[in-house]
Structure 1
Amino acid sequence: MLRPIKKTCFSLLIIFLPLCGNSQGVQLDSLRNELEGHTLQDTIRAGLLIEIAGEMTYSSPNEAFPYVKEAIAISEKTNWIKGEALAHRQKGNLYYVLGDNLNALDAYQKALVLSQKMVNKQLESSLLGNIGNIHADLKEYDKALTNYRAYLSTAQSLNNRPDEIKALSNIAIVYNDTENFEEGVAYLEKALALAKLEENNLFIAAITNNLALAYKKLGQNEKALAHYQEAADLAQQIGNKYIEASALNSIGKINVLLNNYGMAETNARQALSLSKEIGAVEWESDSWEVLSQVFENNGNMAEALDAYKEHVQLRDSVLNEEKRSELTRKEMQFQMERQQAVALEEIKRQELVKNGYLLGAILLALISILGYFLYKRRRDALEKRKVAEFNAKVAETELKALRSQMNPHFIFNSLNSISDFISKKDIQQADDYLVKFSKLTRSILENSEKKWITLEEDLELMELYMQIEALRLENKLNYRISIDESVEPENTLVPPLLLQPFIENSIWHGIAPKQGDGQIDLLIKKDDNMLEYIVEDNGVGRSATNTKAKRKGSFGVKITSNRIDIINHLKNTNGSINLLDKTEGLRVEIRLPLELQF
């Protein structure tokens, strides 16, 4: 199976199933008519059910599940192992198209066990290719390559050209994902030559598009442009709007690099129309980005800013989905390892039952040893589960912390403020705001992967954030940062942006609704082996804050509390958060273990 369309990597191929087009509908109708005439619950009906589910994979995957379910039931009842394996594989294909890799992996593994049971090497190797796709999605490239190479070897030995195309293409995609473009191009060229021999236009268009992307990464823009145009023309001929929209956006980007702005605008508008038609948010975002660059070059700054806003809004929705998928990916890794262990245990259990009739007497003598082994395995499993749960909590907390740092509402409001300054012709103020905003965004992204940064760097980020908010509030916000002389900011390490949720709450829910100017005081001091933050504001306080604001505030407190719990677990310390209501405003006290760089 070829990996499905994923814009975030080099893959722009589809699962190899019956070809799309007018013939697909005719074939599906024919199969359904044949199924209606064959009501006997036998292997013929099971085979028809699997074929129908395969034809429906792209058009209506959710509606195909009942066919697969019936095929599995018939195969189990008639003891048709191959049919059961093929049905589970088709079930995995449906889940994979729907983006449910966890259930896809479960179905593929069941099919793999059955293929090994009946010693079907061709089916086994193709299933290894399916599982290789999951590894590639998890960025476990070594495991993916191992599976793809086994798939390729079997396809070549059996002279199975379609399977060879799939294996070559997916190996190329892994090389391109890991920036080994020379190897990737070589494998794509081999796959393209075979696809042309097969006269499979869908494969030709997708592989050509991947080749263009590789050439662009290699800096060969003219060659990339020619391949993109070829892919776009062929995709238009076969009615594949996904590949056509992707190729047109890429052509527009290259035309921007070549200063062909008129052509770039035409390409971007065509891609935008197609992207809206098929609901491809990622490519719609790319189209707006190209248009923003074209408008900026033509001096249409207002239109450029509007286009860039559209790009940011659509991009952020995609980024948020990608960041949410990070935690799912980590959970899937744990689930995959657990499922593999279960599959191995099932094989061992079957072997034990088979050999038990011959070794019953010896087995009785080994009961005590086996009991100890089972106890030890259970104990180790419980320990691994605790570690996995803790790692999941770490991943979830890091993800939520990053979301809170890059709040889409903050970005959108900042862009609106810049637009407002431009409309008022306050170019200097707009420029100052934009410089601070870009510096803050870049710094947050640079520090998002770091566990610890220096206190000096963290305070610079917080001060930059408060400066931006002060500009937005028209200097209604004042702040003061005090550092005890016993603290060395350049040598003290702290988790990045730990204070950001509290300062944000003080500004948005304390000072913004307040009549008159607001003040935020930040004090950092040392208490034995602990570092203490104190954040005070003179806002309206929690009692005057609405319920929705309180919920958002508690969300920020929960994220920071989880981060401190993780630090306490790792450092064996007693860090804490304490919120104190004042007559006017709120006081937050945060204690962390003192961590020094040198």
Structure 2
Amino acid sequence: MKYCFLVLGFFLFAVSPSQNRQIDSLRVLLKADKEDSNKVNNLNKLAWELNSGNSDSALILTDEALVLSRKINWQTGIGSTINQQGIFYAMRGDFPKSLTSFLKALEVWNSLGKKAGPVRKARTLGNIGNVYTNQGNYAEALFYSLQSLKISENIGEKKSTATNLGNIGLIYWHLKDYSKALDFLTKALKQNEKIENKPGIGQNLGNIGILYVEQHQFEKALDYYMKALAIRKELNQKNEIAIQLGNIGNVFYELKDYSQALQYDLQSLKIASEIGDKTQTAIVLGNIGQVYTQKKNYSEAEHYLMKALSLCDSIGILAYKMQHEHSINELYILKGDYKNALKHYQRYVATKDSISNEANLKKQTQTEMQYEFDKQQTADSIRNDVQVKEELLKHNQALQQQKIYTFGGTIGFILMLLVAGISFRAYSQKRKANAIITEQKLLVEEKQKEVLDSIQYAKRIQNALITSEKYIERKLTEIKKQH
């Protein structure tokens, strides 16, 4: 199977490339510029414009910008220029130099603190993560990429957010978690489409195409690759054009359309050679060798495969060397040259063993990373459980308190009813007693009245009797006087 190579994760840059800005006009501006920050910015802009076609000139210009930034003690210029140099080194496949540049830029931003601004720091963090991805250090890659994503989201920097989403998708691609990879890349694509970021759209389309290749959905992959290539051509991004042409060649190879595969591979080789991209050149040379092998043009196949091996040895890319050693081994078997076939098979095994040792280290790193993820998820889970338990406890306490209030209210209500009942009963009894007392009082009063009436009656009788006696006595006295 032909080696399918990955489009590099997208780097975050401070200088916005603009095809509308003419290189000549920048050079005119530089001639008139004073030794100040404007000249630093224009040097970096011109370096970016020249980067696709003339890498040496681009680096020379950034060196000049760096010297001037230090001369005028402009720390922001120093950080931005070093960050841009890191991108240029990464585009050339020189990841050790690229990482060194990005880490130096990060030191500048950290020393400036808030003066640096969150955008610059987020870009550099994302670039560091991208380098670690390409070096196979996925734990560090995810660590820096997530930091960059967090800052970008917090400040509403949509372009950087999209870039980080895409780069995190590539990390999961390397970890063979294609579901998560596609999820992040799709989110990145939608974000870039919203802000009409064409370079980002091209990057996302190409990387989604690679995911479909991994899943042997070649027609879908070809569709995404073609869309990505159209955007790269529109933007005149030569590095990316070379990569997309090579990827399209790979798909046609898998579809056994070797004529189409050769056509796209040769176009990729031409551009990669022109811009000095040695890694891409080494890959495509080997791929062309494989195409010629399938077309049974063994002399051409041997020519391209040997050139690919030589270049792989010179730049030290073991993964591609292993693939090409295996391809030339198969070629010599087809030619009946078993001596050379054995020699290259032994080299293939030796290279594979070297990669296996590196892979073991990567696997250990991935295991450690997974451990950290699991630990974090466990911590989050425990924290959530504690929170849920606390909320449940509060809820239960509230329910218990409510029950107490309800129970107390019920008891109070019952007691109130009892008191009311007792009071009513006492009142009823008192009322009844009062009625009896009143009745008895009335009876007594009636009896008293009867007695008093009797006494009065007797008294009246007595008075009547007394009156009669006095009358008799008076009459007797009168009679005596007459006699």
Q: Identify the residue that residue 456 of structure 1 maps to in structure 2.
A: none
Pairs within 5 Å for 1:97-496: 97-336=134-373, 338=375
**Greater share of helix residues, 1 or 2?**
2
Residue 73 of structure 2: SS of its match in structure 1? Answer: coil
What amino acid is aligned across from residue 221 of structure 2 in structure 1?
G
What amino acid is aligned across from residue 275 of structure 1 in structure 2?
C
Question: CA shift at 1:328, angstroms?
Answer: 3.0
Question: CA shift at 1:282, angstroms?
Answer: 2.9
**Does the 8 Å CA contact 2:282/2:311 hold for their aligned counterparts?**
yes
Q: Distance in 2 between matches of 1:8 and 1:303?
A: 22
Q: Distance in 1 between matches of 2:149 and 2:79?
A: 19
Q: Identify the residue that residue 27 of structure 1 maps to in structure 2.
A: 61
Q: Distance in 2 between matches of 1:210 and 1:34?
A: 41
Deviation string 1:336-355 (CA, Å, 9 cap, x unpaired) is 45557889999x9xxx9xxx
Q: Distance in 2 between matches of 1:51 and 1:287?
A: 33
Residue 296 of structure 1: SS of its match in structure 2? Answer: helix
Q: Distance in 1 between matches of 2:194 and 2:382?
A: 31
Once the two structures are overlaid, the 10-residue window that deviates more, 132-141 or 66-75, is 66-75
Q: Which of 83, 88, 107 is the equivalent residue of 1:70? A: 107
**Does the 8 Å CA contact 1:289/1:307 hold for their aligned counterparts?**
yes
**Closer, same or farther in 2 for the Cα pair 1:8/1:267, shift >3 Å?**
closer
Q: Identify the residue that residue 11 of structure 1 maps to in structure 2.
A: 6
Question: CA shift at 1:172, angstroms?
Answer: 0.9
Q: Distance in 2 between matches of 1:87 and 1:114?
A: 11
**Closer, same or farther in 2 for the Cα pair 1:66/1:294, shift >3 Å?**
closer
Residue 159 of structure 1: SS of its match in structure 2? Answer: coil
**Does the 8 Å CA contact 1:172/1:184 hold for their aligned counterparts?**
yes
Q: Identify the residue that residue 88 of structure 1 maps to in structure 2.
A: 125
What amino acid is aligned across from residue 289 of structure 1 in structure 2?
H
Question: CA shift at 1:312, angstroms?
Answer: 2.2
Q: Identify the residue that residue 38 of structure 2 maps to in structure 1.
A: none
What amino acid is aligned across from residue 57 of structure 2 in structure 1?
S
Normalising by structure 2, report the TM-score: 0.64
RMSD: 3.3
**Does the 8 Å CA contact 1:168/1:191 hold for their aligned counterparts?**
yes
Normalising by structure 1, report the TM-score: 0.52
Q: Distance in 2 between matches of 1:138 and 1:28?
A: 35
Q: Identify the residue that residue 470 of structure 2 maps to in structure 1.
A: none
Q: Does structure 1 residue 37 correspond to structure 2 residue 32?
A: no
Computing the radius of gyration from Cα coordinates, the structure with the larger value is: 2
What amino acid is aligned across from residue 92 of structure 1 in structure 2?
G
Higher RCO by CA contacts (8 Å cutoff, separation 6 or greater): 2
**Does the 8 Å CA contact 2:272/2:280 hold for their aligned counterparts?**
yes
**Greater share of strand residues, 1 or 2?**
1
Question: CA shift at 1:86, angstroms?
Answer: 2.5
Deviation string 1:192-228 (CA, Å, 9 cap, x unpaired) is 0111111111111111111111111122222212222
Q: Unpaired runs of 5+ in structure 1?
A: 1-6, 353-364, 371-598
**Does the 8 Å CA contact 2:66/2:78 hold for their aligned counterparts?**
no
**Closer, same or farther in 2 for the Cα pair 1:40/1:342, shift >3 Å?**
farther
What amino acid is aligned across from residue 110 of structure 1 in structure 2?
Q
Question: CA shift at 1:186, angstroms?
Answer: 0.3
Once the two structures are overlaid, the 10-residue window that deviates more, 260-269 or 313-322, is 313-322
**Does the 8 Å CA contact 2:103/2:128 hold for their aligned counterparts?**
no
Residue 259 of structure 1: SS of its match in structure 2? Answer: coil
Question: CA shift at 1:46, angstroms?
Answer: 4.8
Residue 250 of structure 1: SS of its match in structure 2? Answer: helix
Residue 115 of structure 1: SS of its match in structure 2? Answer: helix
